[in-house]
Structure 1
């Protein structure tokens, strides 16, 4: 059966989608200028890229928290529109955004459920450690990235502006000062 499996994690179109999402989260982080203000919450976001028609087996709806699909239904079709919509959602709504591997956005924002005992048994205890900087959103994204039909999860920390990409239980994380390279004025101050 594995010979017939599509390797979405290596697919050029899916990698482009991950790049578009990463760029969007970085841009949202860099465009917010009040990270150091006391009592101010920055934009936060949690995104999961999934295969298959539904996440109902491991996600619950987050009430009335919805992505405005009338404004933006596809990630890469109009990246500026996606950025503007994501920027608003990151400041006003809670829950994870579900995006299919073709870039189509699900309207309902969700809360991913914890891994089940059978899923936990497949994880090496050494790989199950969380980093000290991880909050609930990041721990959930790490665990969710281990699920069979989840290609990748991404987070934007509302406390620090950190952007993290999770895949298969591992991750790459970038502090706000590391985002945007030479175009980030914070990187060289």
Structure 2
């Protein structure tokens, strides 16, 4: 698997929304964060492309949910997801070795529910979590008008979109187990690629 990153694929406008605090640090602008998102997207797109049973009845593919945070704890808005854990013995940091991250993500995507948490330096939390939903009032308070859900979004995507507007959340990234769609959410906005679009110049040739 090629370890090259691709900043060009991050098409989201990461400018802070008009109602944001001008003193906030815009981590989504940072080159390191862009590279982290690219590494994760590439691994998830590879998982999506390599699974060949999309569209079969009663078959679900790999699913994945990552939350990148700038804070030191997610306890305020997340609960432990039982015994589901990220295999830190395989991969402790997104920036360590992309092959190791891919192997760990492959294992988690096929066997576990919940979100994986990463800090802005790429360090991964062992305990996987269930991120609490924001109420409609909380969403309006944070965005001014709420967020726009698309018809294709399931509960994981809607949660990831909502979570992306939290103060210490830099970005959320999902791989849909229903159709292989890979989506990045930042500040209540998103960009995504269907299974047929993933990979770009990285795409694995059959």
Query: For residues 149 and 44 of structure 1, do their structure 2 counterparts lie closer, same or farther at Cα, with a shift above 3 Å needed?
Result: same
1:134 to 128, 153, 159: 153
- Cα distance in 1 for residues equivalent to 2:45 and 2:56: 19
The question of whether the paired residues in 1 share the 8 Å contact of 2:176 and 2:182 is answered with yes
Secondary structure of the corresponding residue to residue 99 of structure 2: helix
2:177 to 154, 158, 165: 158
1:14-58 Cα offsets, whole Å, 9 max, x none, are: 111011011111011011111122211100001010011101011
Match of 2:167 in 1: 148
Report deviation, 1:120. 3.3
- Cα distance in 2 for residues equivalent to 1:9 and 1:173: 17
The question of whether the paired residues in 2 share the 8 Å contact of 1:50 and 1:151 is answered with yes
Report deviation, 1:5. 4.4
1:39-92 Cα offsets, whole Å, 9 max, x none, are: 111000010100111010110111001001111111121001110110110000
The question of whether the paired residues in 2 share the 8 Å contact of 1:177 and 1:184 is answered with no
Match of 2:9 in 1: none
Match of 1:73 in 2: 92
- Structure 2: unaligned runs, 5 residues or longer: 1-20
Secondary structure of the corresponding residue to residue 176 of structure 1: coil
Match of 1:123 in 2: 143
- Cα distance in 2 for residues equivalent to 1:140 and 1:34: 26
Post-superposition, which runs of at least 4 consecutive aligned residues in structure 1 deviate over 4 A?
Answer: 2-5
Match of 1:95 in 2: 114
**Larger proportion of helix:** 1
TM-score by length of 2: 0.84
- Structure 1: unaligned runs, 5 residues or longer: none
Match of 2:26 in 1: 7
The question of whether the paired residues in 1 share the 8 Å contact of 2:142 and 2:165 is answered with no
- Cα distance in 2 for residues equivalent to 1:44 and 1:118: 27
TM-score by length of 1: 0.91
> C-alpha root-mean-square deviation of aligned residues, in Å?
1.8
